Amino acid sequence: MKRESVMIKRTIKPGLFLLFVLMFSGCKTSVDNRITFENLSAGDIIVSFRGESLAIAANQTTVITEIPKGTYSYTTVFTKPASASSSATKGDVAGNVIIKAGTKILILYTSTLEAGIYTLSATISSSDDQGIVTSP
């Protein structure tokens, strides 16, 4: 009988230890994949991302979290101000983003109005390699 109780104690202790380690180790159940659209331009924009239209007012930010791994495309729509005779885009106003584990992406929008031309510009920054190749 003594031998059985010793065996049970030896089996329970490692099991309890493993349970405590799992409970208090801070295991994440989800990965923090996020994309932030920050609109510092003079006007409102609409971003199409993952089948949704995201209206982002001037000087506002929208954050999308818990994005599954994969490659996603996005596009940006804007309206030129009444004071502009024409409009143009520059930079990463549309493109693809690659989401891996723990990816954080920022797309920053700015604008200029010169000689009647309203230009919406966007730059992308990522915590991961997006496979973007730039010319020297």
Domains, the chain, ordered by start: 34-126 (2.60.40)
Q: Across the chain, what does the average pLDDT equal?
A: 84
Q: What is the pLDDT of residues 56-109, one digit of tens each?
A: 999 999 999 999 999 999 999 999 999 999 999 999 999 999 999 899 999 999
Give residue 29's Cα distance to chain centre.
Answer: 18
Among 11-15, 16-20, 102-106, top mean pLDDT goes to: 102-106
Share of the chain above pLDDT 90, in %: 68
What pTM did the predictor assign? Answer: 0.73
